[in-house]
């Protein structure tokens, strides 16, 4: 078995989209991306061009979905995607996903991580829809920390080592400061947020991929 492309179960599909043409992933897999599927009725769609280096994608269980669209901006280096329990990850076009970012969607069927177009996820960020454990009401026995979606609209920049948890929503042109913890909705666009937990620090902002010296020369 090809160690970079391992699949167990029935009705699992890995589709490559290139220049508008769709075809199944060949047996040799895709350079730089280790794909592991263990379950049934899972669906993976990868749109080229996109470049992976030492990345991992794992789908565990049934009815999971992963979609990533084309990006000419950068390579994905040591990025990990883990999907289980009927969840999904959907990533838009021209996203810049940096070194050792981790995406985890699991625990509640239908839960999703959705990343819009032209977003940056910086190094060592964690996006996680569930906590991996259950907090319980002492008196009723009911769970208190139900998993939830993570949604980033277009042109969102998440700084290094930030953590985005269940029910995070970031509107267009949001900037998340490095090492922040985000765990709620921010519906207002063009804001800088930061802190643990994150709050709005500044409004009326936007951002550009160019660094300061190059930006002022433009």
Please check whether residue 42 is in contact with residue 64, taking contact to mean a CB–CB distance below 8 angstroms: yes
Own/partner pairs, 55-59, CB within 8 angstroms, 24+ separation = 55/79, 55/80, 55/81, 56/80, 56/81, 57/33, 57/81, 58/82, 58/83, 59/12, 59/83, 59/84
Residue (of 34, 25, 32) closest to 5 by Cα position: 34
Condensed to tens digits (0 to 9), the pLDDT of residues 131-182 reads: 989 999 999 999 999 999 999 999 999 999 999 999 999 999 999 999 999 9
Please check whether residue 88 is in contact with residue 113, taking contact to mean a CB–CB distance below 8 angstroms: yes
Domains of the chain, each with CATH number or no CATH: 5-131+146-217 (2.160.10.10)
Residues of the chain above pLDDT 70, percent: 98
- Name the most confidently modeled range: 29-33, 93-97, 187-191: 187-191
């Amino acid at each position: 078995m090809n160690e970079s492309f391992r699949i167990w179960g029935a009705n699992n599909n890995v589709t490559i989209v290139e220049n508008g043409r769709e075809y199944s992933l060949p047996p040799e897999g895709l350079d730089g991306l280790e794909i592991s599927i263990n379950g049934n009725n899972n669906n993976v769609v990868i749109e080229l061009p996109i470049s992976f280096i030492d990345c991992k994608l794992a789908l565990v269980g049934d009815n999971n979905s992963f979609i990533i669209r084309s990006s000419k901006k950068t390579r994905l280096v040591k990025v990990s995607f883990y999907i289980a329990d009927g969840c999904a990850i959907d990533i838009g076009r021209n996203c810049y996903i940096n070194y050792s970012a981790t995406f985890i969607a699991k625990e509640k069927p239908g839960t999703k991580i959705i990343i819009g177009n032209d977003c940056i996820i910086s190094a060592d960020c964690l996006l996680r829809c569930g906590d991996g454990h259950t907090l319980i009401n002492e008196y009723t026995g009911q769970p208190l920390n139900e998993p939830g979606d993570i949604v980033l609209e277009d042109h969102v920049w998440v700084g290094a080592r930030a953590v985005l948890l269940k029910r995070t929503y970031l509107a267009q042109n949001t900037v998340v400061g490095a090492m922040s913890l985000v765990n709620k909705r921010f519906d207002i666009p063009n804001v800088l947020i930061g802190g643990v937990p994150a709050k709005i620090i500044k409004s009326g902002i936007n951002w550009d991929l160019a660094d300061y010296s190059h930006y002022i020369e433009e």
